[in-house]
Amino acid sequence: MSTNPLKYTASLLYRVISAVYLLIIRLTRPIVKWGLRRTTGLCELQRICYCEPNGAIRIFSVEECLSKSKNKKIKKLSEYLERAVSEKRFNQTGSNKIISNTVETICSIKNIRPDVHQPFGKLFGDCVSVIYGYKQLLNKLEDLKSTKYDSTNLDHEQNLLELWDSLMSPKQLQSRISNLWKEIGFQGDDPSTDFRGMGVLGLANLNYLANNYKDVVLQVLSHSHHPKYGYPFAIVGINLTHLSYSLWKDGSAKSHVYNLCCQTSSSPVPSILHFHRFYCYLFVEFDKYWMAEKPSTIMEFERIRAQFEKNIRKLLSNRNCLLKLNIPVENV
């Protein structure tokens, strides 16, 4: 192996400079924070809540500030919140108490006088509510995803038949096991085996789409029957549950969800409805993209799906991202 000594020295120098730079940042961060606290009289969390815009930008900053904190009491507080999440206590009724405890604790740790800094409590509390509500929702999605479709479970069976009715009514299924399931894009005559890794979450997504966006879903379904560019509606739908779930799980969807929660509600907590609507957005957009690509065969699914995922990830990487369903879908 031949090494160019000049190149080697340059790269070494670069690495040394980078390390020194990082060290300086790390060492000066507490000093800068202390200085700001002295001059503005505000701690970092207050500055974030007062100065950063409402939505994902502020919430990301609070999240980062809490997770980077070396303060033992704040670490304890984070553990308390994680525990509430794992015990599913972060719900519409339960979260108020947890949030008010959290705000009180932060005010006491940071010597913030709640009477003087009244807006802080609400602004900070909302951020915590969104951050931890998202975590708890992820656990719920995980539960649904790992609940296998079970033909002996009446709820599951009812939901499946409901899907048929929403999509195909007045056409009737003659029997539960039927070749007709292929018309809505299942693989064989019994859909129960098609949900695979997505469990009942896949079915819940499809049902939400079919029940809440009737006109749109019928157009999408008709595209899936296109003589040239048709695709298996339900199988692709289940695959898009996978995509939605992955984007939430790895945190990519946070920008959209955080912005959405702050925009819509006075006490923002992410809910499964947000997930379903996100899914509907993906399905409708995927259908548009697929039809525009004019694939010559279903074998192009992997390529088109990968490109679609890339496009969505690009949108989500913008902290101001807020995905909105564009209805109606154009007729083809």
Ligand X SMILES: *[C@@H]1O[C@H](CO)[C@@H](O)[C@H](O)[C@H]1NC(C)=O
Out of 2, 39, 93, 174, name the contact with ligand X by CB under 6 A.
93
Question: Interface residues for ligand X in 273-332 (CB under 6 A)?
Answer: 301-302, 305
Q: Give min distance, CB of 195 to ligand X, in A.
A: 9
Binder of ligand X out of 37, 47, 89, 140 (CB under 6 A): 89
Region of residue 174 (phi > 0: left; psi between -120 and 50: alpha; otherwise: beta): alpha
List phi, psi (to 5°) of 234: -65, -40
Nearest Cα to Cα of residue 237 among 175, 272, 187, 169:
187
| Cα gap 147→141, rounded to integer Å | 10
Cα→Cα distances 105→49, 98, 319, Å: 16, 11, 29
Using CB under 6 A as the binding rule, whether residue 91 contacts ligand X is answered as yes
Q: What is the dihedral of CA 20, 24, 26, 30, to 10 degrees?
A: 170
Give the DSSP letter of residue 41.
S
Among 73-81, 128-136, 190-198, 317-325, the segment contacting ligand X (CB under 6 A): 190-198
Using CB under 6 A, pick the residue from 46, 192, 239, 259 that binds ligand X: 239
Comparison of 276 and 305: residue with beta carbon closer to ligand X: 305
| DSSP letter, residue 110 | T
Give the total of residues touching ligand X (CB under 6 A): 13
Residue nearest to ligand X (CB): 94
94 binds ligand X (CB under 6 A): yes
Which of the stretches 30-38, 85-93, 120-128, 268-276 binds ligand X when contact is defined by CB under 6 A? 85-93
Query: Are 145 and 201 spatial neighbours (Cβ–Cβ below 8 Å)?
Result: yes
Query: Does 198 help bind ligand X (rule: CB under 6 A)?
Result: yes
Q: Which parts of this chain interact with ligand X (CB under 6 A)?
A: 89, 91, 93-94, 196-198, 238-239, 242, 301-302, 305
